[in-house]
Structures are given as C-alpha cells and as structure tokens.
A and B are shown apart, each in its own frame.
Chain A
C-alpha cells in the first residue's frame, strides 16, 4: 500500500462527506431542512449533490417551518430512523426550541428509556459576516443547560467529519454547531481522511502542548487561541491549547489534568460571556483545583450584547486574538 496523500478540503465538504458516508452505511439516515435538496443543496451548499445521489425522499426539502422540521425528526427518530435536521442559522433554534428542549431532550427520560431520539440538529452559527443580531449568535449554552442534549462544536474539517458521523450514529439527540465562517474559507481547510473515520464524542483534543497556561476553547476560536499561543511563545510563555470538540459530554479529565499542570486557565468562546459555557467551565475548574491555581480562571467571550451589524461594532463584539493574549498575560502578573 502506498501512503495516502494529504487531502486538504474545507469544512463544508467534510460535512457533506460525513452525511454521504452515513447515508451510504444506513438507510435509516435521512436529511431534512429548508432548501437542502438540489438544485441548491442548502443555502451553504453543505448537502450539495446528496438528493441526487439518495433521492428526495431521503434528502427532504421542507417548508420554512422549524417546529415542524424538528418535530418530524423527533417522531421519526422514535420510530427507528436517524434524522439529520438542518436549521439554517442557529438563531432560528428559538422558533423550535420547544421541540428541542421539551421533546428531543426529554423523551428518553420521560418514557423511562422506552423511547429514544437518535437525531442530529445541524446548524450554522457565528458572527463575522455582518448578518446582524438574528443571524449571528452562538447559542450552545442554551443546549448545554438542557439535560438530554449532546452538544458538539467542531473546529476544523477533519473533526467536523469525524464528529458528525459519530453524532448521526449516536443514540441521543445531538446539537451540532457549525461555525459558519469556516465552511468554505480555505484558511481553515485541512487534511481530512477518506472514509469512515469517526471521532468519539466526549474526547477533547490537545491542539498544542504547553506548560505555563491552558487555553480551553472550541469552534473557530481554537484557531485564535493557537495564534495567541504563537505570539506568546515569542515572549517565552508556553501555552497549552485544548479544543473541547464536545461540550456535552465534556472531557473534564483532560481539562483538569492540563490545568493541574499549568495552574492557570483561560476559557475562550465567541458566545456572549455572561452565563456562557466559560462560566460553567471556569466554575468546574475552581471547584476542583481552587487551592492549586496560581490565578483565577479567566474568561474571554463575546460582549454581553446582541450581535451588532456595523463592521466595527461586530468586530468589537467578537473576542479577538489580542483579547486572548491580554487574558493570558493577566494571569501571569
């Protein structure tokens, strides 16, 4: 056998491959969402070609009816299917939250385990394209706060593919948050293995090893954390970067082991800081490691505002590399 050439592809294509593989493996997998069938293949082209390959009965274009989309997925999942529902933009989760939190999340529990909801809700999220306050939010904390849901936020194409296949075959409902800016931007493309290479949910990735401070992040901000680490390496600060990949289940062991070593931690995410996932993680680190920390855990997150439209305000909302650098430095004072 020859060694495989690196295959550099963007996240959008990696996600498409994941769904293609899952549909090929299991005829119970089907997709539903607005505009996802040909000729458009989704507004972000993530499902391009799949309705041609698998038919419009398995790649189903829906009315603009998010509650009906998620409800149909919930019912079909209970009945033995593995639906993958696309909610075009994460802010639209608000119009189907009842189906997600009261039904998808709780049905296994309320039925005493008799009925289960193995489905995935894929959704695009994040600021940076001047889509304004209703098309830019990261709302993962809503889902993390709801027992019964799993929450995945990939940071690169290879993880996106491996995590999505795992999510589709997971026995529980998964909210799969796709950072919108990463879909087709070549700067985020990476080597993605061919075939069914699954990445288990609940296993964080140590992106970069370091000894002075741990930066914990997920999604697009992992790249900013690495950039901050590069900058600080030049100043003699060794930064460990952890990509959580999944918020539920949370790989707390990896986080705590790292912070036990570095004694300093910064949590970084794009979502609004107040009651964001960073608040929970910071609290957990303090609860477990308070006496050994060299400094309080710092949080770097979005401003506590709606996402603004004007470019300068939007940029001011989103945490930047410089903010991460400053937070790390504040711990070393």
Chain B
C-alpha cells in the first residue's frame, strides 16, 4: 500500500490537487530527460523523479504569499509552488522569456509572484536564508510561513547547524523539509551521516522533528500540515525528514555505479506517482476520466511550454551588465 488511509485524510479535492502536482512534475521531468537524451536540448539537469510526493504534500497547504526556498534539485518544488511552466522551461533553456531572463538557469529559478524566492546551487545554503524570510514575517507580524527544502547531504554542512539553531532560538515560522533520498551526490547516507534518521538531529536544537514516508503523499500532507499550522500560530519551526529515493542519480548522465541496482529497481517499481493514482481510483477519490483529463491537460501544458521556450530568443547581450547592481557599474 502506497498511501495511508486515515480518517482525517485530506478531502477529495486536495487529494486530486496533490496528484495533479505530482503528475505535472513527472511529466515535465520525463520531457526534460527525453529531450536531453535525444540531444534536442543541452543543460545541467538534476532529476527530481521519485520525490514528487514531498513537494505536493507541503505545497497544497501553502498560500501564494508563503515562501519556498529550494536547491538545484528543485524542479518539483518550483512546479509545486506554482512557477509558471512556460517561464520555467524558458529559464532552463536560457531564454530571455525565462523567470530570470535566462540569467539564472535551472539552479537559480526565482519567481516571487509564486513565492518561490530562492533556488540555490550551494548545498545547505538555503537554510540560513529561509530564516531571513521567517524573520521578515515575524517582524511584520504576518502569519506567512517559509518552507525550505534540502537533501540529506545538506544536514552535514555547517549552514544547516547554524540555521536550525537560530530558527529554534528565534522561534521562526520556518519548516525545514529534508528530502532524504539516501544519497548526497555519489555517497550513500550511511557513509556520510552519523545518525540513522535526520530527524534525530532536531533534538539537538530543541526543535520538533519527525520522519515521514516521503513517498506517501497523505503522510507528507499530515506532517506538513501540522508543521505549517504550528509555524503560522507562532509556535516556531519544525524539521520534517521525508524519506524518498532519487530514480536518476545525482545528475543527468550519472552512471549511478554507487547505487545498488536492486535497490534502485525496487524503488522504481514502487514509483509513488502511479501508486498514488491507483490508490485514488481504488478508494473512489477520483475517476479514471478525471485523472486522464488532468494528465492530458498537463501534457498540453508542457507541449506549449516547450514550444514557447524553444521559440524564445536568448537574452540580449545588453543584459550582461544589467542586474549586477541597480545601476550599471562596470
């Protein structure tokens, strides 16, 4: 069984919304990988396949004015928070119509209107920055929350420790989502990390922490909902360790020799997206026609975005010196 059946499960509309997000991530990822493999496009690509349920599980709790911070493997977080498909594709392809005018690229997707405020290419660095968003909300007296995403590898870098501690001391409205895919780059967690569960580290900061099955959208929805409610109420941060698996290694082109074949095969066989789809149908939360319609709509959306991006111009060379500072300083 892929998904928890609990009496307090999300309503049907939310369940379908989560599936829609997951499918959007999966479909987009599949298109990126097929276009990369066929040589139609070239870019540095970190596939989020396998981790869809985590983003979907927290994103449905968020408002547009809540903040999300993520990392280079962030496509699932970008789409879950509502970064528009066209601008996202155009940015990945380095086009002037991209979210960042083609100047940031896949590792720096930024779309403040959606609340996707920072994507960093530096492991762990989003954690201290997320505290700043939390602090801004706290100072302004709003109930906005910030969700910061990072991997298990990031829990071994100093920024994690400094940031978690400061968030706990200041009771910041920040939810720390450790998407534990069991590998930091090419090294398994067992060889890099002194604890079995990243959530054990919460105690070191006096921060509530929980481990959930990140491939179970309903479990993730519950954990995120509780953490977000606590943050909105001014009760401080939470660490959520969402256990998952990355299907395609660290980076597109990764030979994945360090990932046992059987382990990967088993994880892919338990692909959480089709599993959730089947669960929705079995439990009568959605009809086949309804899900097919959503899937068709997403395919059309990706088709449109690809066409939009491929037909968009590169940025003008004049853009080289803009946005370094407010005024041009050479």
Most chain A beta-carbon neighbours within 10 Å: one of B99, B110, B136: B136
Q: Mark B199-240, 1 if CB is under 8 A from A, else 0.
A: 000000000000000000000000000000000000000000
Select one of A70, A80, A107, A112 contacting B99, CB under 8 A. Answer: A112
**Interface with A: B34-42, B51-59, B101-109, which one?**
B101-109
Q: Is B1 an interface position by the 8 A CB rule?
A: no
Given contacts A71-B128, A98-B159, contact A114 B111 (CB under 8 A): yes
Q: Is A2 an interface position by the 8 A CB rule?
A: no
How far in angstroms is the closest Cβ of chain B from A15?
A: 23
Residues on A lying within 8 angstroms of B by beta carbon are 30, 57-58, 62-63, 65-68, 70-81, 83, 98-99, 102-103, 107-116, 147-148, 150, 171-172, 248-249
Residues of chain A within 8 A (CB-CB) of B134 are: 75
Given contacts A73-B132, A76-B136, contact A111 B100 (CB under 8 A): yes
Q: Is B165 an interface position by the 8 A CB rule?
A: yes
Given contacts A112-B323, A115-B112, contact A75 B128 (CB under 8 A): yes
Q: Is B139 an interface position by the 8 A CB rule?
A: yes
In angstroms, Cα B67 to Cα A76, docked, is: 12
Residues of chain B within 8 A (CB-CB) of A110 are: 100, 103-104, 108, 110
Are A65 and B162 interface neighbours, CB within 8 A?
A: yes
In angstroms, Cα B76 to Cα A131, docked, is: 49
Residues of chain A within 8 A (CB-CB) of B121 are: 102
Q: Please give me the residue from chain B that is nearest to A62 by CB atom.
A: B166
Are A71 and B122 interface neighbours, CB within 8 A?
A: no
Residues of chain B within 8 A (CB-CB) of A147 are: 324
What are 11 inter-chain pairs, A to B, with CB distance below 8 A?
Answer: A71-B128, A71-B131, A74-B132, A75-B118, A75-B130, A75-B133, A79-B132, A99-B129, A107-B110, A112-B98, A112-B102
Are A68 and B166 interface neighbours, CB within 8 A?
A: yes
Are A103 and B125 interface neighbours, CB within 8 A?
A: yes
Select one of B159, B162, B323 contacting A109, CB under 8 A. Answer: B323
Are A113 and B323 interface neighbours, CB within 8 A?
A: yes
In angstroms, Cα B125 to Cα A81, docked, is: 20
Q: Is B10 an interface position by the 8 A CB rule?
A: no
Q: Number of B interface residues at 8 Å Cβ cutoff, please give it.
A: 45
In angstroms, Cα B131 to Cα A71, docked, is: 7
In angstroms, Cα B101 to Cα A111, docked, is: 8
Given contacts A79-B67, A111-B104, A172-B326, contact A71 B112 (CB under 8 A): no
Q: Mark B48-86, 1 if CB is under 8 A from A, else 0.
A: 000000000000000000010100000000000000000
How far in angstroms is the closest Cβ of chain A from B287?
A: 40
In angstroms, Cα B35 to Cα A16, docked, is: 58
How far in angstroms is the closest Cβ of chain B from A169?
A: 12
Residues of chain B within 8 A (CB-CB) of A116 are: 326
Q: Please give me the residue from chain B that is nearest to A252 by CB atom.
A: B330
Given contacts A71-B132, A79-B67, contact A111 B125 (CB under 8 A): no
How far in angstroms is the closest Cβ of chain B from A57?
A: 6
Q: Is B281 an interface position by the 8 A CB rule?
A: no
Are B136 and A79 interface neighbours, CB within 8 A?
A: yes
Residues of chain A within 8 A (CB-CB) of B132 are: 71-79, 83
Residues of chain A within 8 A (CB-CB) of B103 are: 109-112
Q: Is B169 an interface position by the 8 A CB rule?
A: yes
Residues of chain B within 8 A (CB-CB) of A111 are: 99-100, 103-104, 108, 110, 323
How far in angstroms is the closest Cβ of chain A from B110?
A: 4
Are B165 and A102 interface neighbours, CB within 8 A?
A: no
Q: Is B93 an interface position by the 8 A CB rule?
A: no
Q: Please give me the residue from chain B that is nearest to A202 by CB atom.
A: B329
Are B159 and A71 interface neighbours, CB within 8 A?
A: yes
Are A108 and B139 interface neighbours, CB within 8 A?
A: no
Most chain B beta-carbon neighbours within 10 Å: one of A75, A103, A108: A75
In angstroms, Cα B325 to Cα A248, docked, is: 11
In angstroms, Cα B110 to Cα A108, docked, is: 10
Q: Is B127 an interface position by the 8 A CB rule?
A: yes
Given A80-B136, A98-B122, 16 other A-B residues pairs in contact with their CB atoms under 8 A:
A63-B165, A65-B166, A68-B128, A68-B165, A72-B166, A74-B132, A75-B146, A78-B133, A79-B67, A98-B125, A99-B128, A108-B324, A108-B325, A111-B108, A113-B322, A114-B110
Given contacts A62-B166, A63-B162, A112-B99, contact A99 B125 (CB under 8 A): yes
Select one of B102, B125, B139, B158 contacting A30, CB under 8 A. Answer: B139
Q: Please give me the residue from chain A that is nearest to B158 by CB atom.
A: A67
Select one of A63, A75, A99 contacting B136, CB under 8 A. Answer: A75
Are B165 and A65 interface neighbours, CB within 8 A?
A: yes
Q: Is B184 an interface position by the 8 A CB rule?
A: no
Select one of B117, B120, B324 contacting A102, CB under 8 A. Answer: B120
